[in-house]
Chains A and B, each alone.
Chain A
Amino acid sequence: MELITPGLGLIFWMTLVFLLLVFVLGKFAWKPIMQSLKDRETSIHEALNTANKAREEMKQLKAGNEELLQEAKNERDAILNEARKIKDKIVEEARQKAGEEAARIVENAKESINNEKMAAMTELKNQIAESSLILARFILKRELSDPRKQEEYAKELLKDIKFN
């Protein structure tokens, strides 16, 4: 029966030691341990949260970078297009100008040619007139006895007069 009869002394000592144990461990062991466990858990939780946030930020930053790059590319393309257009325009303008200039030069040339031609014609007319006068004078100078000879002479004179 001793096995299942709790002894008075043992109950007393067990109660005493156990209460002391709960008190001492509770104050000096469980409290700091539980506190440190809690602290560590919150710190791990926070660290994970921060890491997640950083990852999210990185993703956003990357997306922003790509956007920026795309924008720059677009801008470059726009600038290139613009430049090409300007170049085309300039070339076109130059060509037009050149054409116009050429046309003008041609016109000028034509005009001057005409002028020269007119001058030449005037001169020619003057010369013809002069030579006609000279001719007439010569004819007049010669005897107009022989009509045949006269004709011959006129022919000869005419030969000399070359229309150019």
Chain B
Amino acid sequence: MRPSSFYRIISCIFLFFLMVFVTAPKSWGQEQTVISSSNDSAFAQSTTEKKEGKFNAGEMILEHVVDNHEWEIAKIGSLELTIPLPVILFYNGRLYCFSSGRFHNEAHSYKGFSLEKEGPNKGKIIHLEADKNNPASSKVYDFSITKTVLAIMISALLLILIFISVANSCKRNKNKAPQGIQSLLEPLIIFVRDDIAKSSIGEKHYEKFMPYLLTVFFFILFNNLFGLIPFFPGGANVTGNIAVTMVMAVFTFILTTINGNKHYWLDVVNTPGVPWWLKLPLPLMPIVEIIGIITKPFVLMVRLFANMTAGHIIALGFVSLIFIFGAISTALGLSVSVVSVAFMLFMDLIELLVAFIQAYVFTLLSALYFGLALEEPERH
């Protein structure tokens, strides 16, 4: 009946496992710090040094998967190659702008703001004089250009450059065979148009949604593929960030809601083919339908986020294996590296497939929801 119910269950299971997977290493990491601090309680300096020297897989993976205020390229011994990113903060009605490189000091703080390295607010910027009793008034609104934001901007710029060049070559080769990058991307555009939009929304209305569907498809695809590249312009986990997927899912939700016709809303309020006692004294079915309207974009959000994040976590897990075994003995680490690299290659190939599948699924489901909202009642 509903394709989303299947995905809903799958996604819930996925999210559950993901949370277990992500939270478990974190707690191990905390245990380790507790142990090490109890051993060297007298020397705080040596504790931090020891902690930095020790490899913590859970922390490392999480650091790479979540957003960050600076873009780490490499860390060779004590030399850290990072790109500091601008920090933009709203605090007590004032705007603060400075580079995140300013946090590189002993206290990790600048102008009274501090970038938390530990605890529940790890990675967040808080004000040091924040009123603990009244957290609402002293909340720091962080509008920084973070790693993910920069990656979004880079990919948006690339998309604009690439597709405007495709559009230009389209104009140049009017009624001729496509050339160059145009011939690579045109089949994908035709695929989105014919197999996603036309078949889900129908001939009559599909053109209205084409800009949105194409943008979503290529935005997800580009960022999925960029996420697979481990170096600077790539490597950011954009589509594996829940805020990014949430924004896109909300757009799909808004478009579905404002385009819903009379038939669509009537079906929500008065679902056909359902016994009357499910609707009349207690509007059970309408409630379920309204929950369904909200779950649809929610599932879109979680599916993309969970798939991409899981892929990154697994790939990083294989890298971590090398260092975990390497810490025991160099030879063991080297021998494990062969297996790890082989598995990582395998994972990357799967991720390559997943990059396309997830872009396709998100676009297809968005198109299906638009199609449902615009469906005309069948005439008998």
A33/B174 in contact, CB under 8 A: no
Q: How many Å from the CB of B174 to the closest CB on chain A? A: 6
Complex Cα gap A14–B212 (Å)? 15
Chain B residues with CB below 8 A from A24, complex form: 160
Interface contact A11-B243, CB-CB below 8 Å: yes
If A1-B120, A29-B166 touch, whether A6 touches B152 (CB-CB below 8 Å) is: no
Q: Pick 29 A–B contacts, CB within 8 A, sort by A.
A: A2-B122, A2-B124, A3-B66, A7-B142, A7-B146, A7-B243, A9-B88, A9-B142, A9-B143, A10-B241, A11-B243, A13-B143, A14-B244, A17-B149, A17-B152, A18-B152, A18-B219, A18-B251, A25-B211, A25-B215, A26-B212, A29-B160, A31-B211, A33-B170, A33-B186, A36-B167, A37-B193, A39-B174, A43-B175
How many pairs of A and B residues are in contact by the CB < 8 Å rule? 134
- Tally of contact residues, B, Cβ under 8 A: 56
| Proximity string of chain A (21-46) to chain B, C-beta cutoff 8 Å, 1 when within and 0 when not | 11011101111111011011001000
- Interface check A164, CB cutoff 8 A: no
> How many whole Å from A97's CB to the nearest CB in chain B?
80
| Contact residues in A for B22 (Cβ distance below 8 Å) | 3
A140 close to chain B: CB less than 8 A: no
Binding site for A on B (CB under 8 A): 15, 19, 22, 62, 65-67, 88, 120, 122-124, 141-146, 148-149, 152-153, 156, 159-160, 163-164, 166-167, 170-171, 173-176, 186, 189-190, 193, 207, 210-212, 214-215, 219, 241-244, 246-248, 251, 305, 309
Q: Report whether over half of chain B's contact residues are helix, strand or loop; otherwise say mixed.
A: helix
Is A14's CB under 8 angstroms from B243's CB? yes
B217 to chain A, nearest CB (A): 11
**B148, A22: Cβ atoms closer than 8 Å:** no
A40 to chain B: closest residue by CB: B175
CB-based contact A20/B142 at 8 Å: no
Question: Within the complex, which residue of B123, B159, B207, B243 is in contact with A10, where a contact is CB–CB below 8 Å?
Answer: B243
Q: Are A10 and B248 in contact (CB under 8 A)?
A: no
